[in-house]
Chain A
Amino acid sequence: MSRGQVGRLAAVLATLCVAPAHASAQSVTVSMTADRTQVQVGEQLEVQIRADVSGADVSNVEPPDLSAFRVVGQTVARPMQFRFGAGNRQQIIQSTTVYSYRLQAVSEGRFEIGPAKVYAAGRSYTSNGLTLVVGAGGGGATPGVPPAQPPAGPLDGAVFDAQAFVRTVVDRSSPWVGQQATVTVYLYTRTQVRSSPVIHREPTADGFWVHDLLSPARTLEPQRQVVSGLPYNVYVLRRFAAFPLRSGPLTIGALELSFDTGSVLDLFNPQIATVRRAGVPVTIDVKPLPEQGRPGGPIAVGTFELAARLDRTQVATGDAITLTATISGTGNVSDAQMTLPAIPGVRVLQPQIRDQVTAQGDLVGGTRTIEWLLVPERAGTYTFPDLALPTFDPVRGAYARVAAAPLTLVAAGNAIDSAGPDPTDTTSPDGTNPDSAEPLTLGPVRTRSDLARGVRPVTDSPWFSVALALPPALWLALVLAGVIRRRLRARDGFAVAERAVRVARRRLGKARTLASNGDARGFYGEVSQVLKEVLEVRLGEAVGGYTYSQLLGHLVSRGMEQDLASRLVDELEGLEFARFSVSGVETDEMGHCTRRVGALLERIDRFVPEAGEAAR
């Protein structure tokens, strides 16, 4: 892609990214990241330019010169947020614009990608730069391989071994003091590693501040690379950002490890062997920051933004207020130092410092928050001088000065006595400094307290045990109540059935009387009724709706023996028949019938039905 094409692309993108915003509190952060910084010719990588803008319009975006790569795709995403400030009176629009470029490496080399520029509210903002290393290619690499692919080409940072070796790769050979260099340690092995390697010696990084870039919970996934005609499995063991703290030659020490190879399941080579290897130290030449144009005092190397605020702007003399300075951006944010100039009439206590270090891809940055506690000792209006941070952009190789807007504080009340030693002085009362090498960085004491007396823990309250036991007790009581209720219901059912059988026997006696009086129709009707009622009480359901064949099936389904069910149904059928054909019926026959029904009643009395559909 030519420079002209890139320019046209920028113009198109710029027209897309215009977002309406009311300038209230402007804040613009621009960063550029790559999903991988080491690729081989033919491979693809993605570069993202991200602009976080608050309270301003993005009027133009100028991407860096990407002509060393072929742009195979690009996308723009612009999520936008609306936030309301204090009391909903102040509307702040926050927008984020992300340009993603899918690039393909076309030639070997080390490419310094300059910063992207974003124009907002009449000012230009620059991102960090990137260093992309493109290897010669080959080795079976394909587009879309995972990041941290080992560079091809000359085998630097290692001693070749036909079985296995450790390789240390540093992406910059001569960084500035404070500039990030990314160190990757690879294990090359011809065989599969059976389990996680045992690290006997970590790579030393004396003279560096380091930040790990790999998750401790990652799994070892091999990549394939051909070295000297031999295929190797390549594992990434360590990957960290190293920030040189001084100039001159600095060395990344060699990592030493051992690992097991082979498998008991391998029929051809079931032996397990332990291989021990050590890498070689890699020395880089760290450049001192240039003297020309160098401001005095400590310098933060990277691309940073600075914001400052007071928690209150009006205060009584003697009361403490907090001045917070926030430094954010890319680079070693822990190395950014700020001192607050002396302010006559205001006592400044030692600051509390909090760091939040993050890494976007391989690019380390973060936020450093510095909080000073200020105590105005005299009434008046104090205008704090500009808080400023001298920086050095390692990509552009130039110094810069980032500053926050000035702040004003109004103090009212009587002047307070400021005599006495400085509470921020770490010297002990006996005149000796216990921390001569480095001051003890402590925050000030707290000026407000509830002075609460000991509060008894909730667990010691008597109600806690009761409350804890109540739900399980309630549940247990319900379960027990259910069991008891079922048993009582079952017992009531049996009692009713027994009572029904006793009543039935009495009614059989009455039927005998009817038989002796020659009333055959009345006899059979009474006996039939007795039998049905006993059966219904025992089953717990009406049986009048069933035909005899259905009744037989139903009785069997409720668990009645086939023999008893057949006899019962036969008897009911016979009784029904006899009731309507009573002529010529002998008294003896009715006596037999009474005995048969009596025997059936006894068996029904012993019968325990299973739960039927109705019962369920």
Chain B
Amino acid sequence: MTRLLIAAILLWSVPTPGSAQPMGEVFETGNRAYFAGDFQQALESYARLSEAGVEDADLSFNLATVHARLGNYGEAIRYFERTLRQRPGDDGAEQGLTAVRTALGRRLAEARGEALVQTRPPFGEALVRPFSQDLLAWLVLAFDVLLFGVLIVRRRLLGETGRLALGIAAPLLGVLLVLAAGGLAIKSGVLIDGHAAIVVARDATTMREGPDPRASARGEAAEGEHARVVDQQGDWVLVRLYGGREGWLPADDVGVI
């Protein structure tokens, strides 16, 4: 416990790269700037922490909020999604995500006359959305130990009643193990190519056949759209949008969750 406390204190006071300012102070600076209405300054402070390797749900939430205040709705969606990945079920992030998607839809509709904003993840991801990857991993491990523990005990057990009870428990635990393992596979993304990402370019960005601005256009990707980054060449990334559309986009136009 003492070691943990010391580690936490050290971590809090570790200076960020490029400056001697501890991380806690940088965070406070960002907060003060936000409450003073200087969203750009707040964004820079939070971004410094993110670049320094901080991967914390509260920092992601603040980044999302500041981006939303600045009108960067794609980035805001990206960081709200990241918050939910780091802390599933975060009410504030869920509400922020809804608010930003609504605002984005309104802005796109004003610009184009109509807009379709994706609000729900695919079915499989929606099922495991409330659970963290670590929780699912622990569940898999627990059911694994229980299942094979039951099988081992059953081999040693002589009483018929006990054997019958464990014989019923074993298939149930097997089903739970399969469900938890399936959820873990979906959550960790091992079943799908690439990394989850969000199109963050303001307005629409053109997808191309190859990683070159002169390549033929393949269509458009709208701000806030969900995507999977499946390849990268230089400053270009190959993305696959929900619905199967695929094409190359400038790497700056896409943010990995």
Chain A residues engaging chain B, CB cutoff 8 angstroms: 347, 352-354, 375, 417, 419-423, 425-426, 428-429, 434-435, 437-438, 440-455, 457-459, 464, 467-468, 471-472, 474-475, 478-479, 482
Contact = CB atoms under 8 A, between A and B. Distances in A.
Contacts of A441: 95, 99
Nearest to A457: B133
Given A428-B70, A442-B65, A467-B141, A435 B106 contact: yes
B31 A447 contact: yes
B55 interface: yes
27 contacts: A347-B35, A352-B91, A352-B95, A375-B35, A417-B36, A423-B36, A423-B69, A428-B69, A429-B70, A440-B68, A440-B69, A440-B100, A442-B68, A444-B34, A445-B31, A445-B66, A446-B61, A450-B56, A450-B58, A451-B49, A452-B56, A457-B134, A458-B133, A459-B188, A464-B141, A471-B148, A471-B149
A472 B144 contact: yes
Given A449-B27, A451-B23, A458-B133, 17 more contacts: A352-B91, A422-B37, A423-B35, A434-B103, A435-B107, A443-B95, A445-B34, A449-B56, A449-B62, A450-B56, A451-B12, A452-B11, A454-B53, A454-B55, A457-B133, A459-B133, A478-B155
Contacts of A444: 34-35, 65
A471 B148 CA distance: 6
Nearest to A441: B99
B169 to A, nearest CB: 15
Interface in B95-128: 95-96, 99-100, 102-103, 106-107
B62 A458 contact: no
A442 B35 contact: no
A434 B36 contact: no
A446 B212 CA distance: 41
A438 B106 contact: yes
Interface stretch (B38-46, B224-232, B233-241): B38-46
B22 to A, nearest CB: 10
A422 B34 CA distance: 9
Contacts of A479: 155
B176 interface: no
Nearest to B28: A447
Contacts of B242: none
A464 B49 contact: no
Interface SS of chain B: helix, strand, loop or mixed? helix
Name the residue among A426, A428, A429 with the largest chain B CB count within 10 angstroms: A429
B210 interface: no
Nearest to A430: B71
B36 A420 contact: yes
A471 B163 CA distance: 19
Contacts of B148: 471-472, 474-475
A445 B147 CA distance: 45
B257 interface: no
A434 B37 CA distance: 16
A441 B99 CA distance: 6
B193 to A, nearest CB: 18
Contacts of B138: 458
Contacts of B175: none
A472 B151 CA distance: 9
A471 B145 contact: yes
A468 B37 contact: no
- Nearest 7 CB-CB pairings of A with B: A421-B37, A471-B148, A420-B36, A449-B58, A454-B55, A445-B62, A458-B137
B71 A434 contact: yes
A482 B156 CA distance: 11
A425 B34 CA distance: 11
B184 interface: yes
A479 B152 CA distance: 9
B179 to A, nearest CB: 16
Contacts of B61: 445-446
Contacts of A423: 34-37, 69
Contact of B140 (A421, A446, A468): A468
B184 A440 contact: no
B92 interface: yes
A451 B66 CA distance: 17
Given A435-B106, A442-B65, A478 B37 contact: no
B24 A451 contact: yes
Given A434-B71, A434-B103, A444-B65, A419 B36 contact: yes
B59 interface: yes
B62 A446 contact: yes
Contacts of B178: none
Contact of A451 (B11, B38, B188): B11
Contacts of B40: 429
Given A421-B37, A457-B133, A475-B152, A437 B106 contact: yes
A224 B37 CA distance: 65
Contacts of B164: none
B165 interface: no
Nearest to B63: A445
Contact of A452 (B39, B55, B66, B103): B55
B217 interface: no
Contacts of B107: 434-435
Contact of A442 (B55, B71, B99, B147): B99
B54 interface: yes
Nearest to B146: A471
B38 A420 contact: yes
Contacts of B59: 449, 451
A451 to B, nearest CB: 5
B133 A453 contact: no
B140 A451 contact: no
Contacts of B137: 457-459, 464
Contacts of A425: 37
Contact of B147 (A428, A440, A458, A471): A471
A442 B49 CA distance: 22
Contacts of B34: 423, 444-445
B55 A471 contact: no
B35 A440 contact: no
Contact of B27 (A434, A451, A471): A451
A440 B99 contact: yes
Name the residue among B55, B58, B100 with the largest chain A CB count within 10 angstroms: B58
A277 B202 CA distance: 46
A220 to B, nearest CB: 25
A475 B23 CA distance: 49
Contacts of B99: 440-442
Nearest to A432: B71
Contacts of B96: 442-443
Contacts of A468: 140-141, 144
B86 to A, nearest CB: 9
A571 to B, nearest CB: 40
A471 B144 contact: yes
A475 B65 contact: no
A41 B231 CA distance: 71
B69 A452 contact: no
A423 B36 CA distance: 6
A440 B107 CA distance: 12
Contacts of A428: 69-71
B152 A474 contact: yes
Contacts of B39: 429
Contacts of A422: 37
A480 to B, nearest CB: 12
B149 A426 contact: no
A444 B62 CA distance: 8
Nearest to A473: B148
A441 B12 CA distance: 31
A429 B36 CA distance: 13
A453 B55 contact: yes
A375 to B, nearest CB: 7
B105 to A, nearest CB: 11
Given A423-B35, A425-B37, A445-B31, A453 B106 contact: no
